[in-house]
Amino acid sequence: MPYGFGLALSSAVLVVAGLVSPSPSAPMTCPPVLPVSGAASAVTPTSVTISYSIFLSPPCGYDPPITIALFASQADAQQWTDPVGEALSGPERSGQLTIGGLTPDTQYWFRFAAGDHRDPYVFASVRTAPVPVCSATIQIGSAWGGGFVATVSVRNVGTEALEAWHVSWQWPGDERIQALWNATAQGAAAVGNASYNGELAPGASTTFGMLVATSMPPGAMALSCDRP
């Protein structure tokens, strides 16, 4: 009987020893993804808008707020020196930030930081838009069930004379140009100037017209104008 009691006691000690001496835990492994990502989502001549998403929290990633720093050269961005602009996010883990006061038609580089932690992964460039040289606006005149007539005004909004212009847009439906005047067709939704109205001094304007077939006339439309 004493011999059997000794075995039971010995087992109890082993179980208790196992409880108070757990095995060491395995080190944490971060998933094989970037902790943050970003890309330019919009540009104007004087600003850039960067979209960002924070995927991982510490210790593998970051918590908001996050800072986007913009640099004038690739070397400055690599060394993180002399940022030309910064924008700080709110508590959201994804969103958009805009940095303004920039030079038109200029390339910049952006990077991310969270507090004192500078992200070493995201390193990308973005270019501001050039100053527009012309604008185009459309006015739909008479319209009926099978089509409409539209007049487009083209204006030189730059500081230099235009020798030629190009206007393009996107049709919202099944529109098709049937006839065109004071312009030359350059695609299903693009035209260029005629031989006699391409030159526009600063502030000067001209017009062209088109007859369009469609099952339903469109509402407001945005047109782009630039040099060809």
> Is the bond preceding 65 in cis, omega lying within 30 degrees of 0?
yes
Mean pLDDT by 10 residues, the chain (228 residues): 41 43 68 92 96 94 96 96 97 97 96 94 94 94 93 95 96 96 97 98 97 92 93
Q: Note the pLDDT of residue 23.
A: 59
DSSP code per residue over 127-149: EPPPPP-EEEEEEEEEEETTEEE
Give Cα separations from 56 to 52, 69, 122, 155 (angstroms). 13, 20, 14, 49
Its sign, for the CA torsion 114, 119, 124, 125, is: positive
Decide whether 36-127 matches 134-226 in CATH topology.
yes
> Which pLDDT does position 28 carry in this prediction?
72
Domain boundaries 134-226, corresponding CATH code: 2.60.40.290
Q: Report, in this order, helix, strand and coil percent for the chain, each rounded to 5.
A: 10, 45, 45
pLDDT at position 220, please?
85
- Contact yes or no for 150/227 (Cβ under 8 A): no
CATH code, residues 36-127 = 2.60.40.10
Coil/strand/helix, residue 11 = helix
Per-residue confidence (pLDDT) for residue 13, from 0 to 100: 39
Q: What local confidence, expressed as pLDDT, does residue 52 receive?
A: 96
- The pTM for the full model equals 0.65
Residues 184/196, Cβ–Cβ less than 8 Å: no
For residue 219, the model assigns a pLDDT of 84
Domain ranges of the chain: 36-127, 134-226
CA distance linking residue 37 with residue 213, whole number of Å: 45
**pLDDT for position 6:** 41
